[in-house]
Amino acid sequence: MEMKTQSEKDKQKEGKKMENRVHKRLILKTECCKFQTAAGPYQFLEGMFHGMMGHYNMYKDGWLHRDVSDGNVLLLPEPEIRKPLTRFECTKNLTKCVGVISDGDQAIRWRELDRKLEKRRSGTLPFISMRLLNAWNKNQPVLHTFADDLESFFWVILCVLLNIGHERKSLTIDEGRWLHKLLAADDPDSSETNKRSTLQMLEASVLRTKHKLSPVLKVFVPFFTDIIPLMNEATEAADELNSDNLNL
């Protein structure tokens, strides 16, 4: 399914004049792979973690990616030697990179704190955070933050896993509906609604074991158990940051 970024949809919808851009083509020696090709759960999460590390390195250098999607977080065909990230204890000895984040076309310099709260939307709809979608649906100004990009990683992980399960014909009926609704939503309102209902059912399955999970999701229950509460905490922190900027 072809997906347009939210900014492209907004420009078409509102008939705004397209901004002038210089077309550039970057040819990389390494051809990356989608996460559907991961050899197993370990390589999948390791590669995704390395993509997050790449996102952090961008952020540390002053850039916020703003378009974390299944086409921009990729696996390397073979591990590559990279300089380890020494900021965190768990990454000090990691020298082999297996996953990357690419395409910084929508990246902005987040340190420019005097910039206006985001009115120009960015991201790929199935992976945009619920917080941003909610604000856009209400036409409210909102600051795109690091927490929003981290939530996008969660939706990338879930959608890719659901796609793998779909290819294997192993999804439950509910999971098949999640996948269809997450990818079929074509506006901020429906995308936010579908994400909230999906997350609610996933939490019920993971945290309260009320619903059966397919094999591909069941393997990742420990990951979901840890990441969902952290994602909720990050959203609360982002809301506070947004309120502080509105009051400046």
**How do 73-81 and 63-64 pair as beta strands?**
unpaired
- Token pair for residue 159? 């959608």
Q: Tell me, what's the pLDDT at 95? A: 81
Whether the CB-CB separation of 154 and 227 falls below 8 Å is answered with yes
Q: Which residue is associated with the tokens 């269809």? A: 180
End-to-end CA distance of the chain: 42
Q: Tell me, what's the pLDDT at 5? A: 61
Beta bridge partners of 109: 63
Q: Tell me, what's the pLDDT at 140? A: 87
Tens digits of residue pLDDT in 148-188: 999 999 999 999 999 999 999 999 999 999 999 999 999 99
Q: What is the pTM of this model?
A: 0.84
Whether the CB-CB separation of 242 and 140 falls below 8 Å is answered with no
- Token pair for residue 87? 């900021």
Q: Tell me, what's the pLDDT at 11? A: 54
Sign of CA dihedral 242, 128, 131, 239: negative
Please tell us whether the domain made up of 31-246 is placed in CATH 2.40.160: no
DSSP state, 126?
Answer: G
Whether the CB-CB separation of 87 and 47 falls below 8 Å is answered with no
> Is residue 63 left, alpha or beta, with left meaning phi > 0 and alpha meaning psi from -120 to 50?
beta
- Helical segments of 40-145, H only: 41-60, 130-137
Which residues in the chain belong to E strands, given as ranges? 63-64, 73-81, 96-101, 108-109
Whether the CB-CB separation of 134 and 189 falls below 8 Å is answered with no
- What does each of the 248 residues of the chain score in pLDDT, given as a tens digit? 455 565 555 555 555 556 566 776 666 667 789 999 999 999 999 999 999 999 999 999 999 999 999 999 999 999 888 887 777 777 777 788 999 999 888 888 887 755 555 556 789 999 999 999 999 999 888 889 999 999 999 999 999 999 999 999 999 999 999 999 999 999 999 999 999 999 999 998 887 666 789 999 999 999 999 999 999 898 888 888 766 665 55
Instruction: Tell me how far apart the alpha carbons of residues 217 and 196 are, in angstroms, rounded to a whole number.
Output: 18
Q: Is 12 exposed, middle or buried (0-12, 13-18, 19+ CB in 10 A)?
A: exposed
Instruction: Tell me how far apart the alpha carbons of residues 224 and 32 are, in angstroms, rounded to a whole number.
Output: 26
Whether the CB-CB separation of 108 and 121 falls below 8 Å is answered with no
Q: Tell me, what's the pLDDT at 117? A: 59
Domain ranges of the chain: 31-246
Q: Is 6 exposed, middle or buried (0-12, 13-18, 19+ CB in 10 A)?
A: buried
Q: Tell me, what's the pLDDT at 26? A: 62
Q: Tell me, what's the pLDDT at 53? A: 92
Residue type, 162: L
Q: Tell me, what's the pLDDT at 119? A: 59
Instruction: Tell me how far apart the alpha carbons of residues 155 and 177 are, in angstroms, rounded to a whole number.
Output: 15
Helix axis angle, 188-207 relative to 130-137, nearest 10°?
150
